[in-house]
Structure 1
Amino acid sequence: MDHLPELVSAPTKPFQNELSMSSLTTIGFDADDTLWQNETFYRLTEQRFAALLANHGEPDIISGRLLEAEKRNLGHYGFGIKGFILSMIETAIEVTDGRVSASVIGEILATGREMLSHPIETLPHVRATLEGLAGAYRMILITKGDLFDQERKLAQSGLGDFFDAVEIVSDKTAATYERIFSRHGDGPARSMMVGNSLKSDVLPALQAGSWGVYVPHSLTWALEHAEEPVSEPRFRRIEHLGRLGDLLSRLE
């Protein structure tokens, strides 16, 4: 997909007064793959999983079956590592016709424990950006996934003090952003959501009436892919989080 110019894109319509950033009071930030690495560990675990089942299919076949299981199970397990591990166990049972060994199940569970204890790797520019914006805006961490794991990652990241509120949600929809930005800010129209997922961070925030800023990550889960809404006047795309302050100053 062709990339938009950094800091984006003039929208298809000229800015109107109601699109001025001067009224912006609240910024929401995604966590996984926006503030710290996440998808990298899923990919590495998936590779190990495919290697465990190498006698039952090529890696791309095993990965495809796993993705199908994840899709089926989102409504049951939600987002996060625990659901991912359960989907791997289910896939292992399916591709082996129920003959998967206890030792393989044990290795899958061990990889899950490793993921749940992996040190947090903060992405470049994150701390400096949050420090620069602290006090100028109400800042909210909005992340989806397992409550225990997300709380652990936030604590280990050392970034918690930058946020005025933390919301760990089961999913991100327009209603989610409307509720959160009304509870902790001055409503969606005066708020911005920043994240690496077009599907979860940007599109529903735009639908709620907020600004949506896309910060691409080199790895994105297949179920989070979506087209960039380039015709939306409140959509912006930046190369990395270090560009956010510049974007805000340009749009004031």
Structure 2
Amino acid sequence: MNTIEITKIPVPGGELHVEVVGSGPPVVMLHAGFFGAGMWDEQLDLAADHRLIRYDARSHGRSSTLMADMHPYEDLLAVLDHFELESASLLGNSMGGLTAFTLALQQPERVDRMVLFGPGVPPVEFHDPFVLDRYREQDAAKEAMDADGFVESLMRLAVDGPHREPDQVDPEIRRRCWEMAMTTIISHHTATGRQLEVDVRSRLEEIATPTVLVVGELESTDLHRMAGEAARRMPNAELVEFAGCGHMTNMERPQRANDLIRRHLAG
């Protein structure tokens, strides 16, 4: 196994915790909201053929807390510039998919290919009653300063999904996601800055980057809707459904995810 190199990249008002492993064409990994770079552990096998770069987004994990509003794709650009990469392929899950979509729209020459798992398309809108109920729970938990209640609601939303009970999900995946989310909440609850969205949805036809969109069969209706719309409207996009899993598709089905990533990145 290659050694993971850890570095800190300065960004306005803070720094990013970045990990690099492997050699070959560069791939940047963008994690889901409240989690961190560790959600890509199952994809580190790809370091045999690629230079993998993964980082904790601002107000997540070991990166700085966000104290002013910013566009997340600016941090992604800072990572590419730090490593002097003219372009890279992007892997994204959920929030990471938003960042990938936005860079592919704003600066398409910097993005080679994308594989996006359960991506939202900004501006993200939720209508699924299951999702809205979880957001109400999370608001109540925040009000009560109940970190455990907040994280458990997040697990129900982002790991279990609307069609499974907690005991139907791999307990190790749930444990790892719980720990990443708790680290983020404890470390960054003082954040005053927001991650801003760019309107990508109205301009999906402009994103010509070769893209695979992956959605879990047991995912919320909102994520199925957004991924499906993106696949229909983007000129070089393909939609793939992973049976029997929810939002954390790359963690629940790592072998299938890695095979798909290798195939797509090889063109």
Larger Rg: 1
Select the structure that is richer in strand.
2
Q: Same fold (TM over 0.5)?
A: no
Select the structure that is richer in helix.
1
What is the TM-score of this pair, normalised by structure 1?
0.36
Structure ranking higher on relative contact order (CA contacts 8 Å, 6+ apart): 1
